[in-house]
Structure 1
Amino acid sequence: MTTIAVLGNGRVGGNLTTALTRAGHEVTATGRTPGAAADAARRARIVINATPGAGSLERLIALREELRGKILVDVSNATLDGPDGLPADLLYPGSSLAEQLQEALPRTHVVKTLNTMLFTVMTAPTALTQAPDVFLSGEDPQAKQTVRELLTDLGWRKEWITDLGGIRTARATEAAVLFVPHVIRSSGFAPFAISVAR
């Protein structure tokens, strides 16, 4: 059992909180209230950023001391939304939210994952008709191994988990969010994930 704080109680955060609790972890979910977020982060071993990506950097910098030495799992994508509310461009072109977080929080182990799929797939990968992929980006091998174990608790098979390397690789997976509005307009909100055919 791991003590986990999920920052963000919307569809993504709620989905992860339910699944991780079901898997036997001690999970605290919190919204954007600074005091509640700080308290949850302070008590957790792992903190999951499921807040809207456009405001994540500012929110998490405010938790610098609470996040010191912790694993920060970043599942958000920082985008500029179009008139329909769907992602239209990247907030950090030539970089990524994960890189910005790691630079701003050097004593926190940032791991990027679960950001290349519709939120329902995060906790139900076997529901897809084809095998999906989930990617890991981060500088600390031990932190990535811990996150890999969390992913298996969420139903991800070991062969579906790909370690892309350092945190700089997160800019590739975050850019994949630009597929999302086109897929949704074409197929609706049916579950999907980016996968690599092998």
Structure 2
Amino acid sequence: MTTIAVLGNGRVGGNLAAALTRAGHEVTVAGREPGAAADAARTARVVINATPGAGSLERLAALRDELHGKILVDVSNATTDGPDGLPADLIHPGSSLAEQLQEALPETHVVKTLNTMLFPVMTAPATLTQPPTVFLSGEAPPAKETVRELLTDLGWRKEWITDLGGIRTARAAEAAILFVPHVIRTSGFTPFAISIAR
């Protein structure tokens, strides 16, 4: 059992919190109430960033003390929205939200994952008709191993998990969000994930 704080109680955060609780972990969900995120992060071993990506950097940088020595799992995408509300462009071109978080939180082990799919797939990957891929980016191998174990608890098979390397590789995974609006416009909100076929 791992103590986990999920920051963000929307569809993504709520979905992850429910699945991780079912898997036997001790999960706390922090909404937007003042101090809630700090309290949740302080007592957790793993903190999941499921806050809207456009404000994540500022919100999490304020938790530097609470996140010291913790594993920060970043599942958000930092984008600007187009007129239809779908992602239109990256906020950190030539970088990534995960890299910006790691720079702002040098004593925190940032791991990027689960950001290349619609949210239902995060906790039910086997429901797709073809094997999906989930990516890992981060500097600390022990932190990535912990996240790998959590992914397994969410239903991800070992062969579906691809470690891309250091945190700099997160910019490639985050750029995949630019596929999403086009896929949604042609196919609707049917669950899908970016997958590497071998």
Q: TM-score, normalised by structure 2?
A: 0.99
Mapping of residues 101-116 of structure 1, within 5 Å:
101-116=101-116
2:16 corresponds to: 16
Distance 2:91 2:149 in 1: 30
Q: Deviation at 1:34?
A: 3.6
Letter in 2 for 1:30: A
Distance 1:124 1:34 in 2: 32
2:92 corresponds to: 92
Distance 1:104 1:59 in 2: 11
Distance 1:62 1:106 in 2: 13
Q: Deviation at 1:193?
A: 0.1
Mapping of residues 152-191 of structure 1, within 5 Å:
152-191=152-191
3-state SS in 1 of match to 2:197: coil
Letter in 1 for 2:43: R
3-state SS in 2 of match to 1:92: coil
Distance 1:118 1:80 in 2: 17
Q: Which runs of 4+ in 1 moved over 6 A?
A: none
1:135 corresponds to: 135
Distance 2:149 2:124 in 1: 15
Q: Larger % of helix: which? A: 1
Letter in 2 for 1:81: D
Identity of paired residues, percent?
A: 86
Distance 2:83 2:31 in 1: 25
Distance 2:51 2:39 in 1: 16
3-state SS in 2 of match to 1:148: helix
C-alpha RMSD of matched pairs (Å): 0.4
Letter in 2 for 1:115: N
Q: Deviation at 1:185?
A: 0.4
Q: TM-score, normalised by structure 1?
A: 0.99
Mapping of residues 142-153 of structure 1, within 5 Å:
142-153=142-153
Relative to structure 2, which stretch is displaced further, 119-128 or 30-39?
A: 30-39
Distance 1:141 1:77 in 2: 23
Structure 2: any 5+ residue segments left out of the alignment?
A: none
Distance 1:196 1:31 in 2: 34
How many residues align structurally?
A: 198
Letter in 2 for 1:85: G
Q: Deviation at 1:140?
A: 0.1
Deviations 1:3-48 (A, max 9, x none): 0000000000000000000000000001123401000000000000
Q: Deviation at 1:105?
A: 0.2
3-state SS in 2 of match to 1:106: coil
Deviations 1:158-198 (A, max 9, x none): 00000000000000000000000000000000000000110
Distance 1:46 1:184 in 2: 31
3-state SS in 1 of match to 2:35: helix
Deviations 1:41-100 (A, max 9, x none): 000000000000000000000100000000000000000100111000000000000000
